[in-house]
Structure formats: C-alpha cells, structure tokens
Structure 1
Amino acid sequence: MLNTVVLIYISVETVIHSWNAVCPLVAKLKRFYEFSLRLENALRSLLEALTSPPYAPMQHLEREQALAKQFAEILHFTLSFDELKMTNPAIQNDFSYYRRTISRNRLNNQQLEAENEVNNEMANRMSLFYAEATPMLKTLSNATTKFVSENKTLPIEDTTDCLSTMACVCRVMLETPEYRCRFTNTDTMLFCMRVMVGVIILYDHVHPVGAFAKTSKIDMKGCIKVLKEQPSNSVEGLLNALRYTTRHLNDDSTSKQIRALLQ
C-alpha cells in the first residue's frame, strides 16, 4: 500500500512538474504565432509599396531603400526562425503534450488557468502553424501569393521583378570580391544569403513557372553556387529550404544541372 501511495505521489509530482515546465513554452509559441500574423500584414504592405506604379522594381528599391531594408529584415528573421524550428523537434512534442492535457481535463470538466491564454481554437491554429517544416516562410509565401491574387490590376511581373531584383543584388554582393570584402563579419554574409534564399522561395511560389525554369529572371545556378561555396554548417539550412519549400524544383522544366546542385 505504501509503495502504491509513493508511486502515485511521484506520478502526480511528475505531471505537475511537466505541466509547469511546458506552459511558459506554449505561451512563447503563442507569441511567435501572433508575430507571424503581424509579419504577414507587414509583408503585404511592403509589397504594395515596392510594386506600385509608376516605378519599376529597381527604381522602387533605389527610392525606398528603408522599405527594402525592412523587407530584407523580415526575410532574415523568417529564415533564422525556421532554421531553429527545424532543429528543435521538441517544439511539437511539447505542444502535443499541452493539447493532450487540455483535452483530458476538458473531458473531466476541468479547466486549467493556462487554457485562458491558449484556448482550443487558438491551439488548433497554432498546431497547423507549427506542423509546417518552415512555418514562418510558409506564412510569407501564402501572404505573397494572396497579395498577387488580390491585386489583379497589378501585373504579376511587378511583384516577381521586385523579388528577382533583390535576389540578383544579393547574389552579386556575395559573388563579387569587391563587394564581399566589405562585409565586416560572417553575420552580414549570412544575412545576405538568407535574404537571397527568401526572395527566391517567394518568387518560386508566385511566378507561374517558378524560379528554376530557363525563363526565370533569377540566376539559380549562380545563387546555388554562391551558397555551396560557404561552409556547409552555415548554409545547410538554406539549401534545405530550397530543396523542400520551393514549388517548382521537381518540375520537368527544371534542368538536371540545377537538381544535381541541390542533391
């Protein structure tokens, strides 16, 4: 009897300890999810500002450099967040534990204080968000696609040209020794690479034939080559993003050379 009581006590203590540990993590996951919604709105506003007539994409990027910098900052954060998420599978395990506990308590007509912060509806939305391999990038891809579909009077080329121009600028900065030597540290170079990969993925999601086709305005061979020249530990996440979050890599129109570069 005493052994049974001790085991029950230990079990209850373990559950309480686990619950107290997971609740702050879930609250943090909620803040990141809500931040993704803010990023979605911010991105659409930036795209509107950087693609509106009468200026061409390059003119916009030259005239509104502060906005272009904000766009780049969003992409840098997005790729950074998703890289961390992909290397932390415990995120989904912890959130699954949280949802199971809430469901179990609801069946027992109990409500925990933490449920007031993340109710069932919010938990469902968060679950779909974190189920994505790259949730922030998925949010931005959807936002870009939605922006194009909702602005039918705006030629799609205005959006894709803006993205391809940014990709070209990043590639040239990375592959040209004269520009590359101005990077003060590896963080600056990584920033440039993340922005380049981010706009490539957005381009691939909204352009009818994608970034990998021969008619693409993005030099994909050059972009991939620049990435592969860097230490593998610093670019593997970016290469994986190109492998697994683009839409057209496996299309018949994608050359065997490009596919081989990403293998």
Structure 2
Amino acid sequence: MINPSIQNDFSYYRRTLSRMKMANEDDNQGSENVVSNEMANRMSLFYAPATPMLKVLGEATTKFVSTHKELPVENTTDCLSTMANICRVMIETPEYVARFQNSETKLFCLRVMVGVIILYDHVHPVGAFAKSSTIDIKSCIKVLKEQEPGRVEGLLNALRYTTKTLNDETTPKTIKAMLAG
C-alpha cells in the first residue's frame, strides 16, 4: 500500500523485456537474468493486491482453519486476538514504552498488531470490528492514531481497505468514524 507503483514498474519491466527479446531474437546474451514468463505472471498476480503479503497470509490462515476442522476456529482467533492485544499493551503501557527506545521496534509492534487484526477479521465468523470481538479494536485504533501520522498512515489504510467486515452493518458507528478520518 505504501508503494503502489511496484505493479506499474514491473509491467514496464515486462514490456521492456519483451521489446528487447523481439529486437534480439537471435541473441541469447543476458538470458540468465531474465524472469521467465511463468514467473513474471505469478509475480504480477502476487503484486496485484494492495497488500500482497497480507493477502497471501490471510488466504493461508483461512485455508488452515477450513482444512483443519478438528481444531476449533476459536484456537486460531484467540491466538490472533491475544497477539493484537499484547502488541497494543506493549505500545500504550508506559513501562513497556520505556523499553522501546528504537522507533523501528515500536513500528514493528504496530505492524504486527494491524496484521493480526486483519487476519482475525478474515478468519473469525463475525470479524474484528463486531462488539463480540476479543480484540479491543477501539484501543488499537487509538494507539495507531497517537503515533506520527506519516509513519502509520499505511497501517490505518490497511485496516480501512483490507479488512472484510469494517463496512458491515454490525460494525459500530464509532469504530467506522475512528477509521474514517
């Protein structure tokens, strides 16, 4: 989401490569550095979504939950909600904040928190924004909004645009308003 031009750049690379191949049909020099058409197609499909890695993780988690019927879905969602809540507490609690002198560590915790909220939202039957969710979503959004805007805008956008249930009618209006602006 932070670098949306990557898909355009990759498309430009493919077009340029195609022109080079047409111009040098008999010349095989440099072919060891060329991405095969099959790999290029796979890469294009991977980079097409706004958050490609998160999409793959969401699909893998959803597939895991659906193929392992012997494990209650609550095991997975409880783990995800616990991780989100732990990350939030680590960032908002003063005694933990003192330990995070490195801003990159704090940003990493914020990224993990947002990532597991999105995974939870994709896996849990009612989603992360419902009142019955075990994630304190209001506090998570509040923690994000308390950070430097430039550093977390991508994370807020990830919550806005890659979650499944934010726009559901079961999502409280206060949560929608918090993420609206």
Structure-2-length-normalised TM-score: 0.89
Q: Is the 8 A contact 1:102 1:115 kept in 2?
A: no
Deviations 1:115-137 (A, max 9, x none): 77411111111111111111111
1:175 equivalenced with 2:74 (yes/no): no
1:146 to 50, 60, 63: 63
Deviations 1:70-109 (A, max 9, x none): xxxxxxxxxxxx53x34xx1x2223212322444566779
Q: 1:210: which partner in 2?
A: 127
Q: What SS class does the counterpart of residue 216 from structure 1 fall into?
A: coil
What is the number of equivalent residue pairs in this alignment? Answer: 178
1:163 equivalenced with 2:72 (yes/no): no
Q: Is the 8 A contact 1:171 1:196 kept in 2?
A: yes
CA gap of 1:182–1:205, structure 2 versus 1, over 3 A, is same
1:136 equivalenced with 2:136 (yes/no): no
Task: Let me know the Cα RMSD of the aligned residues.
Answer: 2.0
Q: 1:228: which partner in 2?
A: 145
CA distance in 1, matches of 2:15, 2:101: 48
CA gap of 1:181–1:128, structure 2 versus 1, over 3 A, is same
CA distance in 1, matches of 2:165, 2:32: 41
1:138 shift after superposition: 1.1
1:119 to 24, 36, 46: 36
Q: Which sections of structure 2, spanning at least 5 residues, go unmatched?
A: none
Q: What SS class does the counterpart of residue 106 from structure 2 fall into?
A: helix
CA distance in 2, matches of 1:250, 1:115: 47
Q: Which sections of structure 1, spanning at least 5 residues, go unmatched?
A: 1-81
1:195 equivalenced with 2:112 (yes/no): yes
CA distance in 2, matches of 1:136, 1:192: 17
**Among the aligned pairs, what percent are the same residue?**
70
CA gap of 1:100–1:201, structure 2 versus 1, over 3 A, is same
Q: Which amino acid aligns with 2:63?
A: K
Q: 1:252: which partner in 2?
A: 169
